[in-house]
Chains A and B, each alone.
Chain A
Amino acid sequence: MRRPGERAWWPYAFIAPAFAVYLAFVFLPVLDTVRYSFTQWDGLTAPVFIGIDNYVRAVTDPVFLQSLGNNLALTFWFCLLPIAIGLVITSLIARSGLPGAWFFRTAAFLPYVLSLVVVGVAWGWIYSPVFGPLNQFLEAIGLSDLARPWLGDFDTALPAVGVIGTWVQYGFVTILMVAGVQKIDEQLYEAARLDGASSWQQFRNVTLPGLRNEITVALVFTLIASFRVFDLIFVLTKGGPANQTSVLSFIVYKNAFQYNALGYAAAMAVILTAIILVISVFVVRWREREGAAA
């Protein structure tokens, strides 16, 4: 509320600097991306309006569809697996408040703060066909038949990228859930124990419902991350072999800045952005409804 003696422009003066930079370098570009997506444009001559042709082209383009499919497949590795691992770890260590937990928390969180380019270099070496630790390990335990160029192999390239995503995400997800479990009322567990509930039943009926919020948040964050794997793909595979690891963000980049198909790239960027927006809005809505119900 404005107080007496305060001028009406104060709020705008406070907000203007941040909002101006945001408008110029985030909001206007978003609008322009949408505008470009309805044109055919090579970046040199004037854009030509072509309606929804770029979107039609996308849904009939095998590379686009394969990239979208790869993104969806990666959600297993980036979202479902880390959340499953996080729940298992949480159920094993939760509520015991083990001393020394800070060290393990730091270790588990480390992958999440690293540049994905660094992550790519580290895992590129682990997967390396020549003397990479993974193949060396397989040889050491007598499974040298399994050794292969993990990122170059048609069948293993996408899961190999996926495993990296699991590695990056699972620590963050686990810490989120362990923090959530500590907020659950201890009396709920005592009541469950008095009713003779087993560990599994306590987990199912107390822990899991109590973590609903955390699981949702983890799902949004990991889903968004799985649609934004650009850095890893650029460093490790460039989408290969034969588009096996191509993803939406990578074909946006390739079409825009290598093929100069800017209108088409913009349309795919809009689709990518829309997917992320829909996921976020859906979850915000869902949480609001849950909050209202509670």
Chain B
Amino acid sequence: MTPPPRVEEGTSTPEPRGGPGVARRRRGPVSTAGVRFGADAPVTPYWRVAAGYGVLLLMAFVSLYPVVTIWITGFKTDAELLMGFFALPETWHPENFVTAWNTGHFGTFFANSVIVVVPVVLVSLVLSTLAGFGFARWRFRGSTLIFFVLLLGLMVPFEGVIIPLYYYMKALGLLNSYWALILPQIGMSVAFGTFWMRAFFLTAEPELLDAAAVDGANPLQALVRVMLPLAGPALLTLGVLFFTWTWNEFLLALVLVSDTSVRTLPVGLGFFVGQHSADVTLLAAGATIVSVPIVIVFIVFQRNFIRGMVGGALKG
């Protein structure tokens, strides 16, 4: 696999010329001296740089503290819980993770989550690409109506479909199966995915939509040979969003699956909370197991993630 081309951020921030470090204080009114970040940027006074970093540090602390605390707590013994809320464990105890993984069934939940997430992401990407291309390339009888019906899927919460879904799955004999989780999540994902890919095909290289017709390729060949090589970044971002939504999905997996052997991580953790509410360190280990994959994906694909969520939001 070739790495996706790096797309630059909206604004780049070259290194400061002067360096913000040593601002010599002048007496009297607030200094107007400052630092210029980037050639065209206005001069930022030193006090604003300091205030800016102060705010950013506070923000980072507030956002990270609850998460990091729970990760560290997973390595503590019960006795160490009382040693204060910033204390690190004296020795790091991986036992909680072993207990959660084996006796807490988190190993099974983890496997189940992977079994559900992988097909949802892959199939949704393929179906979204096909449908997005279809809407971008053609206007056809019923296209407006079908598009509006799909539009509804962007807004409907799972609460609005869960009751009938339970009885459909029961009738189909699919309760307590992976299918019960995979099929509805593909249905939800393709609604957003179709919009996303349609927007990509319309804005990326509109003239290419026509180009392939010239050399006699059929539309599917045109999509695969001409458009798809360009769609890497769009597909990657979409895939990351699908992964997050599916990995974190809770209500569907809570209702449609009651058998522990099919449970996914979030629901497994949800029930674990009920059973082990007093066992904080074990609970923390479980929460760590659920959160680490998403955090790794988030950090690796940080740009795609933020652009996807913020950009997707703005396209609305």
- A positions within 8 Å CB-CB of B: 1-3, 6, 8, 10-15, 17-19, 21-30, 32-33, 36, 43, 89, 92-93, 95-99, 101-126, 128, 131, 133, 136-137, 140, 167, 171-172, 174-176, 179, 182-183, 186, 189-190, 213-214, 217-218, 220-221, 224, 227-228, 230-231, 234-235, 248-249, 252-253, 256-257, 262, 265-266, 269-270, 272-273, 276-277, 280-281, 283-284, 287
Contacts and interface: CB of A to CB of B under 8 A. Distances in A.
15 contacts: A10-B138, A18-B131, A24-B187, A26-B188, A32-B164, A33-B160, A102-B302, A114-B248, A117-B269, A121-B287, A227-B157, A249-B157, A253-B159, A269-B159, A277-B155
Contacts of A273: 156-157, 159-160
Nearest to B210: A3
Contacts of B162: 29, 252-253, 256, 269
Contacts, number: 329
A97 B38 contact: yes
Contacts of B33: none
Interface string B59-87: 11011101101100100000001101100
Interface in B164-185: 164-168, 183-184
B248 A115 contact: yes
A270 B289 CA distance: 35
B294 A137 contact: no
Nearest to B10: A182
A96 B44 contact: yes
B313 interface: yes
Contact of A121 (B11, B165, B286, B306): B286
Contacts of A256: 162-163, 166
Interface in B86-133: 127-128, 130-131, 133
Given A30-B160, A99-B13, A231-B270, 11 more contacts: A6-B213, A18-B194, A19-B131, A89-B59, A98-B49, A107-B64, A112-B309, A122-B287, A227-B157, A228-B159, A276-B157
Given A29-B168, A111-B63, A111-B67, A234 B250 contact: yes
Interface of B: 10-11, 13, 15-16, 37-38, 40-42, 44, 48-49, 51-53, 55-57, 59-60, 62-64, 66-67, 69-70, 73, 81-82, 84-85, 127-128, 130-131, 133-135, 137-140, 143, 146, 149-150, 152-157, 159-168, 183-184, 186-188, 190-191, 193-194, 210, 213, 218-219, 244, 247-248, 250-251, 254-255, 265-267, 269-270, 273, 280, 283-284, 286-287, 290-291, 294-295, 298-299, 302, 305-306, 309-310, 313-314, 316
B82 A12 contact: no
B270 A1 contact: no
Given A14-B133, A273-B160, A27 B153 contact: yes
A32 to B, nearest CB: 4
Contacts of B13: 97-99, 101
B130 A121 contact: no
B161 A230 contact: no
The majority secondary structure among interface residues of chain A is helix
Contact of A117 (B133, B138, B290): B290
B287 A269 contact: no
A30 B294 contact: no
A106 B62 CA distance: 13
A221 B251 contact: no
B164 A28 contact: yes
A21 B183 contact: yes
Contacts of B302: 102, 105-106, 109
Contact of B291 (A115, A128, A220): A115
A248 to B, nearest CB: 8
A23 B168 CA distance: 13
Contacts of B140: 2, 8, 11-12
A108 B63 contact: yes
Contacts of A231: 250-251, 266, 270
A10 B284 CA distance: 52
B59 A108 contact: yes
Interface centre among B130, B139, B267, B286 (most CB of A within 10 A): B130
Contacts of B51: 92
A179 to B, nearest CB: 6
A26 B244 contact: no
B280 A26 contact: no
A121 B269 contact: yes
A129 B308 CA distance: 39
A284 B137 CA distance: 24
B156 A97 contact: no
B304 to A, nearest CB: 12
Contacts of A104: 56-57, 59-60
B215 to A, nearest CB: 12
Given A103-B60, A257-B255, A30 B131 contact: no
A111 B67 CA distance: 8
A143 to B, nearest CB: 15
A42 B290 CA distance: 35
A253 B255 contact: yes
Nearest to B55: A92
Closest 3 CB pairs of A and B: A14-B134, A25-B187, A133-B85
A148 B274 CA distance: 21
